[in-house]
Every structure is written in C-alpha cells, then in structure tokens.
Amino acid sequence: MEIVSRKEQHNINKLHKRLRRLVGTAIADFNMIEAGDRVMVCLSGGKDSYALLDILRSLQAHAPLPFELIAVNLDQKQPGFPEHVLPGYLTSIDMPFRIVEQDTYSVVKRVIAEGKTTCSLCSRLRRGVLYRVASELGATKIALGHHRDDILETLFLNLFYGGKLKTMPPKLVSDDGRHIVIRPLAYCKEKDLETYAQIEDFPIIPCNLCGAQKNLQRQAVKEMMQQWDKKFPGRLETMFTALQNVQPSHLVDPALYDFCGLKTGNGPVADGDKAFDPETFEPAMAEILSLNKG
C-alpha cells in the first residue's frame, strides 16, 4: 500500500510541475503578465478557473517579477446558486476578491427561447460586466480559464458552423482597446485540469443555466475530440501544434496573402512550391489500419 501511495504522490507531483511549467511557458510565449500588472482572475466556480487561480498563485510566489492577483466572481443570480461557497474558499486561502452581483440570468431567460442555446448571450453579457469591473479595479490584464481543448473546440465550431478558420487566441485586446484578455491555460489539457481539481478538492459549482442543454454544438465537438483522443492518441497534440505553424501562402484567403501580386523572380521564394514536397507527417498506424478496414 505504501508503494502505491508513493507512486500516486509521484504522479501528483509530476502533474503539478507539468501544469505550472505549461502555464509559465504560455505566459512567456505571449508576454501575458508583465512587471507591475494587476491581473483580474475570473473565477466561475468551475474546475478550470479554480486551477487557473491556484497555479497563478503558485507562480506569483516564485516569479522574478512582481504582479498582483485579484479574483472576481460574477453572481448571475441563477436560482440555487450557493453564494457562500466562493467567498468562503477565497477567504480561507487569503485571496483578495470581489463578488459582483448582476442578474444576467433573467435577461438570458427572457431573451432566449426555451430550448435554444443560451451560451452565446450569457457569455457576451458576462464579458461586458467583467470589462466594467476590470476598469473599476484598475486591472491591467483579465485572465480567463480556457484551456487547450477549449481552443481546439472553438476552431472546429468556427470551421464546421461559422465558415471561419479561427479560434480563441491566448492573448487579445478588447474591441474598445481598453482591456487585454489572457488565457494562461492555453497549453493545458482538460483531462489534466480535471485531475488537478480532484486532487486539490476545489469546491466546484456547476452551471445550472446551461447544464441541461445536452445537444449543444460545443458538446458534440467535445465528444468528437474525446473519441479521437482515445482512438488516435496524439492527434489533439498534432492539431494544436498546427495552430502554431500556420502558412498563409498555402491557404485560400487573398486578404491574408497577396496571391494577386505573385510574380516569378530570379531566386528562391520562401514557401514556394516544390517539385516534390517532402512529407512532414506520418499517419499513426492505428489510423491507417482503421482506414483500411473501412
């Protein structure tokens, strides 16, 4: 039993180190946090935002540059929402926080017809409130808990249903130019965050506003990706790598690349066509066997 416990503790330590490393790498790659920043961490009560806050606190304690953290939760007045949970948790870990009360729940219920997807409107209303609060608090960055799988899901949602090749960026500026939003969990897998939340025993609060919507497009995409991950291990990692290796000259958007202005020259051209392009990928054997069976 002692050997098993030691192995479990070893795996727990590895997970903690891996997540801290991935968050630290994302912060460095995109210059998410700078000296003197006041980072507003949006805490929903879900596993991802809890993990985000916990990891940022850990990094803050060892960071070579000083920055502040303040947790903010938006109480949307959903029926049965346990108001005491987040204040109790944040007080227990000595974390500065602010609870914002705004009845967006009744707005969503009034505007969206029964059975229709509420996520889009709910998200827009929530984001507007958080921008206002960030200004009131003097926050220089707004940290959200979206992870790698969220980014990939959004890519496919835009591809399948929106006719766009875009996703959630790890860092962006608001349309009014006043706020910078960061996603420090951009390199983290959802299943790792689930395990992390279980280990840390965070007091998870479910979202009752949209939790009953079983046929959401995002849920369908999530299930598709989970099946891929089981059947073809490594596929999600490869897809995420592709988002970091974009070649506009090999897509079909004339606004992104000057196809009309292409001309022959006297020397080699970067990203030019080759007579025989070398293969830069090798399909997994399991996928080949699956295709052959089909």
DSSP 159: I
Residue 180 backbone dihedrals phi, psi, to 5 degrees:
-110, 125
Terminal Cα-to-Cα distance of the chain (whole angstroms): 46
Neighbour tally for 27: CB within 10 Å: 22
3 state SS of 38: strand
Is 210 one of the annotated binding-site residues? yes
Where helices occur in 63-147 by DSSP H, the ranges are 85-92, 104-111, 119-137
Instruction: State both tokens at 155.
Output: 């890519």
Is 260 one of the annotated binding-site residues? no
- 202 neighbors 155 (Cβ within 8 angstroms): no
Question: Residues comprising the binding site?
Answer: 119, 122, 210
Question: Residues comprising the binding site for [4Fe-4S] cluster?
Answer: 119, 122, 210
